A and B are shown apart, each in its own frame.
Chain A
């Protein structure tokens, strides 16, 4: 048992140093190596902090869910369905703020559905959410006919600014992202419910034996994911001023990648909001950076695949250490 082994394990498991280090390195690399330093261009930073962070908000919820031991591969589909509901509500002339609230409710409901099937049906969550992923997107496509539809919310400037404006020079999405991260971080790390999340993820039987209602914990986490998806859907639709039935495609895998980069364990029970925050940022930065450096988008798949595989190996390494 050497000191080095312990250090390495801490390094891999403790998100703070590890992930933020990666974050800083990435920013530096992209800044230095992008043609004409385009990455650090204020315009690009603004794009990153607005468009890029849409995904990141959603990833926060997915990370939280992973800590309690479950996966949600249907986030992209919840997003697109919520966007469609918003579109329809908006088209009928309902106040956008009210529509937003209703859509958040819809997101919560979809999250609830995932949760109930998983806990009551005792089905592994990745199967449940594979099924709901197909279902909600298919359903949305059915209803929308696969068409794009305009959805211009600028008739309510307040709404538009709330979801897509700027405060000073900072895009509002950044503020939402940080706000959500702080709220979820407080819940996760300082609130009793957060302890329940960790307990459920780490050892569900033990948590149950201690009186924690693990089903409820999971249900709430799934619903948080649903609500965040719905929120991002509205944010996105107000930015692009149109509904597209391809919204959110592929986001589920990026979200998992973001969480694992952030040090979340694939088996549940380990992770931190700080890590997920950084991981979510990193994914968006990687995407943005690759575009700025004119690297074909296909490489993002390679990178994300490697990220996931790397986290698999480091998780396994840590597991082996703890087993002795």
Chain B
């Protein structure tokens, strides 16, 4: 029945996600008014929006495989975004500002990881604490005011185009970034030695340690990956919007986890696939998008997402037990 290791790229859990994904695409293609779902305009718009959360969710997926959680992404993302904006105001060129933001993301991730491994306390509590702390710092610092950065990044500059432009009239560059990250992280997770360490750490930390794997380092690196992806996504989003807004990233911690869970990632660690996470992100967003296009009020969408998360977790849990 199930004779392939869970660290494989394409497992039965991923097939579930794929089925859901295809089903949703079909349903929304047929049932949205004027088939607007598959219109080029909508897809292009999706191509720009999905990577904002998608890039971060890829990192969360890896983190969950190594057995930890990060609820602070909803603060890390806007904070790094604000650091980017501040750097621009401070006279740095966009590239250097971007680098600074990425470094900040790494630093924030490092702090999370360090606290998690040193205190050995549940990561969701720790990142709850850092989430609140950084949110407060950000709000105080930015006075919660949206700040336009358009003057620093004119609409046709190279920087803007590389980060958020389009290939041809419709194909957003963000999608390429998203897919690129997915591929790189997928290779690391599934085909690289470090990926084996991530799985081992998440599945049986004691065994991994006994085999000489530095599980603390593995976790810290995973947190740092999440951090830098938050920074990247935050800047990408800011450049697209033309401004920084303190509300960037609101609700992302739940959505990222939902996407991973829908993609078959286990909450206990040790199980997950990049393909699954990728599909999970897509599924989540088309659920969101499709419902909105079908005139379901925006509020209701969150309800669906909450439901979908629980449903998939229960489903995976049930299937797991069935197999045993």
Contacts and interface: CB of A to CB of B under 8 A. Distances in A.
Contacts of B302: 134-135, 137-138, 141
Contacts of B135: 298, 301, 305
A315 B303 contact: no
Interface string B303-321: 1111101100110011000
A133 B306 contact: yes
B26 interface: no
Interface string A30-58: 00000000000000000000000000000
Interface stretch (B122-130, B146-154, B232-240): B122-130
A8 interface: no
Contact of A138 (B126, B129, B301): B301
Interface string A133-145: 1111111011001
Contacts of A303: 136
Contact of A131 (B137, B144, B299, B306): B306
Contact of B310 (A117, A142, A253, A267): A117
A24 interface: no
A299 interface: yes
Given A266-B121, A309-B133, A131 B309 contact: yes
Given A256-B125, A302-B133, 14 more contacts: A122-B317, A123-B313, A131-B313, A134-B303, A135-B310, A141-B297, A253-B128, A298-B139, A301-B136, A304-B132, A305-B130, A305-B136, A312-B126, A319-B120
Interface residues of A, number: 45
Interface string B61-90: 000000000000000000000000000000
Interface in A117-137: 117, 121-124, 126-128, 130-137
Given A123-B267, A299-B140, A302-B136, A130 B299 contact: no
B120 A305 contact: no
Interface residues of B, number: 44
A296 interface: yes
A305 B129 contact: yes
Interface string A141-174: 1100110000000000000000000000000000
A308 interface: yes
Contacts of B34: none
B257 interface: yes
Q: By CB atoms of chain B within 10 A, which of A117, A137, A298, A303 has the most?
A: A298
Nearest to A306: B133
A125 to B, nearest CB: 10
Given A137-B302, A308-B125, A301 B119 contact: no
A127 B136 contact: no
B317 A123 contact: yes
A128 B313 CA distance: 9
A203 interface: no
Contacts of B126: 308-309, 312
B300 A312 contact: no
B38 interface: no
B208 interface: no
The 10 closest A-B pairs by CB, nearest first: A305-B133, A138-B303, A141-B299, A301-B136, A134-B306, A302-B136, A308-B129, A298-B139, A135-B306, A305-B132
Nearest to A309: B129
| B contact face: mostly helix, strand, loop, or mixed | helix
Contact of A266 (B122, B130, B139, B261): B122
B322 to A, nearest CB: 14
Given A300-B136, A301-B139, A315-B119, A256 B128 contact: yes
Interface of A: 117, 121-124, 126-128, 130-139, 141-142, 145-146, 253, 256-257, 266-267, 296, 298-309, 312-313, 315-316, 319
Contacts, number: 142
Nearest to A312: B121
Contacts of B24: none
Interface of B: 115, 118-122, 124-126, 128-137, 139-140, 143-144, 254, 257-258, 261, 267, 297, 299-307, 309-310, 313-314, 317-318
B133 A316 contact: no
A312 B306 contact: no
Nearest to B133: A305
Contacts of A304: 132, 136
Contacts of B304: 138
A131 B310 contact: yes
Contacts of A267: 121-122
B299 A142 contact: yes
A199 to B, nearest CB: 20
Contact of B305 (A134, A145, A298, A309): A134
Given A124-B267, A134-B305, A312-B126, A305 B131 contact: yes
Contacts of B140: 296, 298-299, 302
A304 B133 CA distance: 7
B133 A301 contact: yes
Contacts of B313: 121, 123, 127, 131
22 contacts: A121-B310, A121-B318, A126-B124, A127-B309, A131-B307, A131-B313, A134-B302, A135-B302, A135-B303, A135-B306, A136-B306, A138-B302, A141-B303, A257-B132, A298-B140, A302-B137, A305-B129, A308-B125, A308-B128, A309-B126, A312-B125, A315-B119
